Structure 1
Amino acid sequence: ELLGMLSSLGTLQGRPADEVVAQAAQVLHIGDVAPGGWAVLGAVLTLYLADRPEPALAALGGVLDHAQRHGQGWTYVLGATTRALVHQFCGNLTDALADAQYSFDVIMQERWAPGTAMPQTVLASLLVRQGDPAGAEETLAAIARPRFGDFTLEYHWSLIAKARARAALGDVEGALAVLRTCGESLTGNGIGNPVLAPWWYESAELLAGLGRTAKGEAVLDEVEPAVRRWGTNRALGMLETSRGVLATGDAAIERLHAAAGLLADTPAKVELAKAEYLLGRRLLARGDAEGARERLRRSIDLSVRSRDKQQLGLSLPALAEAGGRMRHGTDSPSDALSGSERRVAERAAEGATNREIAESLFITQRTVEVHLTSVYRKLGIGGRAELAEALRDR
C-alpha cells in the first residue's frame, strides 16, 4: 500500500516518469496486494500516464476478474471506468466508449450517480470525440457528487471534458475560462503532472485560433519545465504540437514535424492524428499539396482506427481541399452499438445465458433482453446464433 501511495503521489507531483514507473511495477509484483486494492489502481494511474498501457490493462483485468467473482459491483464499475481511461489515453476509443457507457448505465440503474463522477466524466470526454458535445454536456450535468471540487482526479478530468465540449459547441471563450480554472486548481493543489489534465495543450490551439499567440506562449513557458521533468515522448510531443500551432511559417512546420516524430513512438494515437492534421494544414498553406496529402492521410488512417469522429470531421475536408480523395467504407454496423449493448453481445456470443450475463455485468435479466433485442436489430441478424460472426465482421 505504501509503495502504491508513493507511486501515485510522485505521479501527481510530476516526478520523472521512469522513477515512478519503477515503484508502480513493484506494486504489481507484490503477491499479497489484493487485486481490488487502491494500491493496484494507484499503480495503474502511474503506468498509463507514463505510456505503459500493457501492464496497466493487465492489472485492471485482475481487478475486474476479482470483482466479478466476488460480486463486487461497485469495484467492477470503478475498474471498467479506469480501463476506459486507459483505452482513451491510447486512442482505442471503441473499447473506451464501451467501458464508459457500460459504467454510466450501471450507476444510473443502481442509483449510484450521486456518489460518483468518474463514469460521467469519462463518457463525456468520449462523446465529444464521437461528435456529440451536447450529449457530453448533458452527461456532465448528471454529476451530483457533494464537494466535487475536493476530488483531485475526477474534478480536473471533468473540467477538461467540459472545456472540450464548450469548444466543440463554438464557445471558445467559455472553454478557455474552464481551462484556466483547471490550470489554477492544479497549481493550487500541488499537482504538477502535465498529462493528467493537459489544460495547456487544449488552451494553446484555442488561443492560436483567436490570434493570442503571446498568451499561448506564456502558458507553454509556464508548463514546459514540468513537461521536461515528466519526460515522456507523449508529453514532449504535445508540447511541440502546442508550440507549432502557435508558430508561423517554417518554424511551425519544423515544430509539428518534430511533434509527429515524438508521438509516433507512443500509444498517443489521438494526439498523433492531431499533429499530422495540423502539419498537413501548414504544408498546404505553404503550397506543398503532395506533402499535405501524405500527412492528412496519416491523420485519417489513425482517426479511423481510433474511431475519432471529431478528428475525422477535420481531416477529411482538409484532404479534399488538398486535392486528395476521401475514403469511404470505414464504418461497420456494430459501430452503432452502445457500450452496454456491446458488452452484452460479446458475452452472449461467447455462449453465456441471459442470467449469467446479468450476474457478470451487475444488471437485470430484463436489461439483458432489451440490449440483445437492440443488438439484433442494429446488426441485422436473426438471433444469438449469428452474433459471433456479426461481431467478427466489425
Structure 2
Amino acid sequence: MEREFDAAPSDRLVGRAAVLDRARAQLSSGGSVLLSGPAGIGKSAVLRALTEEFGGGAVAVLRCSPTESESHLPFLSLIDLLEFAAGEVSDSLPVPQRAALEAALTGRADSSDQPEGLALRLAVLSVLRTLAGRAPVLVVADDLQWMDPVSTELLAFAARRLGGLPVRFLAAVRTGTDREGCEEVQLGCLASLPRQPLVLRVPPLSTHQLSELLADRKEHPALHSSVLQDIHRTSGGNPFYALELARALAERPVPPRPGEPLPVPTGLRTLVLNRLGALSPEARTTLLIAGAGARPTLALLRECGRPAAEAEIAEAAELGIARLDPDGVVRFTHPLISAALYSEAPSGARREAHTALAGATSDPIERARHLALATSGEDEHVARTLEGAASVARERGAPAAAARLGLLAADRTPPENLPEVLRRRLCAAEDALVAGDTALARGTAREVLAQAVLPADRVRAWIVVIDSAGQAMADVDDAFPQALADAGEDPRLLAPLLYQVSWRAALVEGSLTRAREVAARSASLAARVGDRRTELLALAFQALTETLSGHPDAEQTLERALQEPQDPRVACDHNGPGYLRFSCLLMGDRLDEARAALAPLVPIARRRGAVESEILFLRGLADTELRAGRCETALELAHESLRLAEDVGVGVGPALHLAALAEAAGGSVQRALSLAHSGIRRSEEDGDRVFLTRSLTALGHARLMGSDAHGAVVALRRVRELEEDQGVAEPARGRWQGDLAEALVRVGALAEAQEVIDVTRDAAVRLGRGSVLGVLERAQALLTAERGDLDGAAAGLRAAGERLGRLGYRLEEGRTRLALYGVEARRRGPGAARAVLEESARIFRRAKALPWLELVAAARERAGHRSPHLSRGSAAISLVTPPAADGAASSEPSASSSSSLTSQDSAVAVLAGGRLDSLAEMERRVAALVLEGSTNREIAAQLFVSVKTVEATLTRVYRKLGIRSRVDIVRLAALRTG
C-alpha cells in the first residue's frame, strides 16, 4: 500500500511546482492526469493537493485507493468509487442495470463475465453520465496499479463512451514494482478517454529541495551539506527515503564521520532488501565490493578477486538488484539497495571489501580512502597517505573530497601527536570552506578550538568560523574579541584577522570609513611580514570601500592590488582584485570589458571547486548581461547563481537581490517582488546592511514596474537613508536614484525628486558615471513634463535615450523610449506618437524584456493601437511575422503572454510543429543555436553552462521532437519552413 511509503504531508509541497502547474492546466482544460513514479516519491501528496484544489464546491469527487492485498477482490475499487454516489441516481436506472449494479456494489456479483455483464457496464456508464449532467465529476484513484481488473475494465468501458461530458480522471500509478507492466496495463481506463490523459512523472527532489523538505520537518536537525549530499545520493532524491534516513541520523548521538555509511533504518532495509535473500553468497560478496567502490567495473571486480563477477552481476540483474551498463560499470537499480547492503554487512566483511579495493584501484584518492576504511584505529602511515590524497584532490579542484580525506587523516592520526591532528583538521576545515560546506567547516574549526592552545592554530580556526558565517557576520560577533585576544600583537596573526574585522565594519556596523581604515592596516601588516595573499585581499577591499565612498585614492589602491606578484589563490577569490577590477569596469559603464574580465574566472572557480566564488561570478555576469539588455541570459545566470547559493547556503541574500532584478527585467514582476522580499528577510536575518540596501532597491524597482509608486518610494527612501549612514557616495553601485526620482514624480513629491536628481548628478559628474547621468536625464525630463513643459521633456528624453544607447544600456534605452511615448502622446496625440512606442517595443523584443513588453502592450490597448504581430482578441503569438525595421524577424506577446518569440524561437517553433510548450526554455535556446550552426562547445560558452549540460539538453530535444541528431534539427526545420 503506497500510502505507507509516501512522503509525509506538509503545509507545502516542496519541489512539485512544475508538476502541479502542468496538472492544473490539464485539469482546468477538462483533461485527465496520471501521476507516475516509484513508491515514496510523493505521488499521493500531489494527488491530495490536486483533489483538494479541484474537488471543492459543486464538483462530485469519486475516490478509491486500492491496496495490493485487496487487488484480487473483484469490484472493490468500483464499490469505493460508486457506493454512495450510485444511491443518488440508481432509481433512474433501468431495472436490469439497477439490479446488476446493486449486485456488484453489495458483493453478490463476482464476475463481469456473467450474463448481466453488459447491464453492469451500462449501469456504470449511466451513473457517470447522470452525475456529470448535474455537476462536473472528478474520479480520483490512488495506487492505480492495485485496482482490480474487473473495476478497471468497467471504468474503461464507461470512459470510452463519456464523450464531451465533464468527467475528469486523476490517478497515481506506481512504477518500478514487481508487477511487470502494471503502469501500461492500468493506463487502459485513462487512455480511452476522448482527450488523451497527461502522464506526469513525479521527479526526484534535488539536493536543495531535499534540504527544504527536511527544514520543514522540525524534528530533523540541521545537516552539514556533505551529509545532505549523502542523503540525496542514497535516497536517489526520494522524499520518503530521505526523511527516513534523516530520522535515523537524528536518533544517533553524533553524525557519521567521513567515510562512514549512513544508518539505514530497519524499515527501509526490509523494504529494499527483500530480494537479496535469493542471491548466492558469492554474488552478495561481489555486490558488497561493488557498492563500496566509487565506479565499480567488471575489470575492477576481477582485480578484487572476483573472477565470476560477470555471472554474479547477471544473477543480480535477474532479481532487479543491479545491472551492467554497456560501458562495463555496475549500477544498482537504486542507491538505497547498495547502502542497505553495506549497512547489513558485518564490519569484517566491509573491511575485506575495502582492502580488496585498495589493492585494485589505481587512483590515489580512492586507494587512500579504501585503505583508511580497511583499517581500524589510528595509524600514522594511513594518515599520511590520506593527507597526500587530500592534496591531490585539492589540486584537482575537488575541495569537498579533500575535506573528507583530511578529516579521515585526522581521525587516523595517533592522538599523542595532537599538533598533527589539529593541523589536519584545520586543512580539512579550510577545504570545506572552499567547497561551500560552511557547516562542516565551522563544526571542524570549533573542534580545533576546543583542543588548541597555540595562538596560530586558534586564530586560524577563528578565521574559519568567521568566514563560514558569510554575509551573516553578526552571528559570529562573539568570535572577534576572542580571536583578537589570541592574536595579540603578532602581525602574522593580526593581519588576516583585521581583514575579517574590516568586512565586519562594512556589513555589521555599516561604516565604510572604518572598514577602509582597518583594511589599510591589515594590508600594511601583511606587507611587513610577507603575507602577500592577505595583503592583496586587504588592498582589494580597501579599494572597494574607497570606490563606494568616493575616496580619491581608490584608483591608486586598486593599481596596488593588481600589481605583481599575484597569489594564485587570490586570482579567482570572490573578494580578490580580479573581481574588484570587474566591479570598477561595470560601474564605469565599460560593459564589454567587464564581461571579458569576469567570464574567464567562472571556469577557474569551477575547476578549483570554489563554490562561493562561482556564485559571485555568475551573479556578476548576470548583472552585466542585465545592464546590456540581454534579459534572458541574465535571468538564467541569476537563477543559476541563486540555485547554487541555496544548495550550499552561501551568499543567498545577494543572489536573491539580483534574481529579483533579472525577473523584473525579463521574467515576472510578481516573482521579482517575491524574490526581493525574500532577499530583504535574508539580509535582515544575516545582519547584512550592505545587501539589505540591494534587495530594497530590487523591491523598489519591482514596485515601480507594478505601478505601485508609493510602495517604491517607501523602499527606496529607506535605501537612501541606509546608504547615507554607511557613507556610500558611488551612484553606480545600487543605481536606485533614478527609480526613486521617477517614483517621487509619480506621487507628486516634485521638490524631493529634484533634490535627489541634483545630489546624484553632482556625484555622477564627478565620478564620470555616464549611464547614471542618462537615467537622471530621463527622471529630469519626466519631472519637466509634470511641470508642464512637454517640449523640453521630449527633448530631454531623446537626449537621454541616445546617451544610454551609446553606452550599451539597451534596456534603459527602451525604457526611455517608452517614457518618450508617454510624453509625445500627451504632446501630439497617441497616433502621432505610435512610431516611438514601436521603437521601444523593438528594443524590448531584442532584449527579451517580457514585463516591459507587457507595458508596451498595455499602452497600445489604452491608445487603441493594434499590434501587427497579434491576432485581434487572442493572446496567441503569430509565428510568421513581418520584418522589423532592421530587417530582422520579430514577434511580440500580448499583455497576458509570459514569453516572447524571436526569429530563432520562430524557427524552433516551426521545428516543433508549433508546439513550443513541448520544449523548455533552455531546450529552445540550445536548439536555436544548433540551427545557427554552433557547436556544443560554442553553445556551452555562450550560455555559460557545461558541454555535458548542452549534450543532455539536446538529448531531451531529440526525444521530444522524435529525431536522432542535430542534423535532423536542421533538416526538419528546412522541411517544415519549406
TM-score normalised according to structure 1 size:
0.80
Q: Measured at CA, do residues 277 and 130 of structure 1 come closer, stay the same or move farther in structure 2, by a change above 3 Å?
A: same
Q: In structure 1, what is the equivalent of residue 549 of structure 2?
A: 13
In 1: Cα distance, 2:957 partner to 2:630 partner:
21
In 2: Cα distance, 1:57 partner to 1:343 partner:
22
Which whole-Å deviations, capped at 9, do the CAs of 1:216-262 have from their partners, x for residues lacking one? 22322332211222223211111110011111222211221221222
Q: In structure 2, what is the equivalent of residue 194 of structure 1?
A: 731
Q: In structure 2, what is the equivalent of residue 130 of structure 1?
A: 666
In 2: Cα distance, 1:127 partner to 1:72 partner:
26
Shift of 1:22: 8.3
| 2:748 is the counterpart of 1:214 | no
In 2: Cα distance, 1:216 partner to 1:71 partner:
47
1:267 to 789, 808, 812: 808
In 2: Cα distance, 1:160 partner to 1:387 partner:
47
In 1: Cα distance, 2:740 partner to 2:683 partner:
27
The one-letter amino acid of 2:750's match is T
In 1: Cα distance, 2:925 partner to 2:673 partner:
23
Q: In structure 2, what is the equivalent of residue 67 of structure 1?
A: 605
Higher RCO structure (Cα 8 Å, ≥6 apart):
1
Point out the structure with the larger helix share.
1
The one-letter amino acid of 2:644's match is V
Shift of 1:361: 6.6
In 2: Cα distance, 1:169 partner to 1:15 partner:
37
Q: Answer whether contact 2:700 2:712 (CA < 8 A) is retained.
A: yes
1:36 to 564, 568, 572: 572
| 2:702 is the counterpart of 1:165 | yes
In 2: Cα distance, 1:20 partner to 1:388 partner:
53
Shift of 1:48: 0.8
Deviates more, 1:131-140 or 1:72-81: 131-140
- The CA RMSD measured in Å over matched residues stands at 3.9
Q: Measured at CA, do residues 293 and 74 of structure 1 come closer, stay the same or move farther in structure 2, by a change above 3 Å?
A: same
| 2:781 is the counterpart of 1:247 | no
Q: Answer whether contact 2:704 2:739 (CA < 8 A) is retained.
A: no
In 2: Cα distance, 1:147 partner to 1:67 partner:
28
Q: Measured at CA, do residues 41 and 337 of structure 1 come closer, stay the same or move farther in structure 2, by a change above 3 Å?
A: farther
Q: Measured at CA, do residues 168 and 53 of structure 1 come closer, stay the same or move farther in structure 2, by a change above 3 Å?
A: closer
In 2: Cα distance, 1:28 partner to 1:4 partner:
8
Q: Measured at CA, do residues 289 and 133 of structure 1 come closer, stay the same or move farther in structure 2, by a change above 3 Å?
A: closer
Q: Answer whether contact 1:8 1:43 (CA < 8 A) is retained.
A: no
Q: Answer whether contact 2:963 2:969 (CA < 8 A) is retained.
A: no
Which residues of 2 match residues 1-394 of structure 1 at below 5 A?
1=536, 4-5=540-541, 7-14=543-550, 32=566, 34=568, 35-37=571-573, 38-108=576-646, 110-112=647-649, 115-143=651-679, 144=682, 148-152=686-690, 154-248=691-785, 249-287=790-828, 292-318=833-859, 321=863, 325-327=867-869, 329-330=890-891, 331-332=901-902, 333=905, 337=920, 380=961, 382=963, 385=966
Which whole-Å deviations, capped at 9, do the CAs of 1:124-175 have from their partners, x for residues lacking one? 11112235222223334544356545352x3222111112233344443222
Q: Measured at CA, do residues 326 and 70 of structure 1 come closer, stay the same or move farther in structure 2, by a change above 3 Å?
A: same
Q: Measured at CA, do residues 217 and 341 of structure 1 come closer, stay the same or move farther in structure 2, by a change above 3 Å?
A: same
SS in structure 2 of the partner of residue 128 of structure 1: helix
In 1: Cα distance, 2:625 partner to 2:707 partner:
27
In 2: Cα distance, 1:388 partner to 1:123 partner:
32
Q: Answer whether contact 2:587 2:769 (CA < 8 A) is retained.
A: no
In 2: Cα distance, 1:151 partner to 1:342 partner:
38
Residue correspondences, number: 377
In 1: Cα distance, 2:637 partner to 2:565 partner:
27
Q: Answer whether contact 1:100 1:339 (CA < 8 A) is retained.
A: no
Which whole-Å deviations, capped at 9, do the CAs of 1:305-344 have from their partners, x for residues lacking one? 1111122122344356385754455305579745799699
Deviates more, 1:187-196 or 1:295-304: 295-304
Deviates more, 1:65-74 or 1:274-283: 65-74
Which whole-Å deviations, capped at 9, do the CAs of 1:332-367 have from their partners, x for residues lacking one? 5579745799699989x8558xxx9xxx979xx9x9
SS in structure 1 of the partner of residue 732 of structure 2: coil
Shift of 1:280: 1.9
In 2: Cα distance, 1:279 partner to 1:295 partner:
7
The one-letter amino acid of 1:102's match is E
Which whole-Å deviations, capped at 9, do the CAs of 1:63-118 have from their partners, x for residues lacking one? 1121122232332222111111111122111211111111222233x2425x5322
Shift of 1:176: 1.3
Shift of 1:25: 7.5
The one-letter amino acid of 1:126's match is A
The answer for unaligned runs of 5 or more in structure 2 is 1-535, 870-880, 882-889, 892-900, 909-915
Q: Answer whether contact 1:137 1:165 (CA < 8 A) is retained.
A: yes
Q: Measured at CA, do residues 7 and 179 of structure 1 come closer, stay the same or move farther in structure 2, by a change above 3 Å?
A: same
Q: Answer whether contact 2:586 2:594 (CA < 8 A) is retained.
A: yes
The one-letter amino acid of 1:230's match is L
Shift of 1:368: 9.4
The one-letter amino acid of 1:117's match is G
SS in structure 2 of the partner of residue 192 of structure 1: coil
Q: Answer whether contact 1:292 1:322 (CA < 8 A) is retained.
A: no
In 1: Cα distance, 2:927 partner to 2:645 partner:
16
Q: Measured at CA, do residues 80 and 222 of structure 1 come closer, stay the same or move farther in structure 2, by a change above 3 Å?
A: same
Q: Measured at CA, do residues 184 and 71 of structure 1 come closer, stay the same or move farther in structure 2, by a change above 3 Å?
A: same
Q: Measured at CA, do residues 279 and 166 of structure 1 come closer, stay the same or move farther in structure 2, by a change above 3 Å?
A: closer
Q: Measured at CA, do residues 141 and 183 of structure 1 come closer, stay the same or move farther in structure 2, by a change above 3 Å?
A: closer
The one-letter amino acid of 2:715's match is V
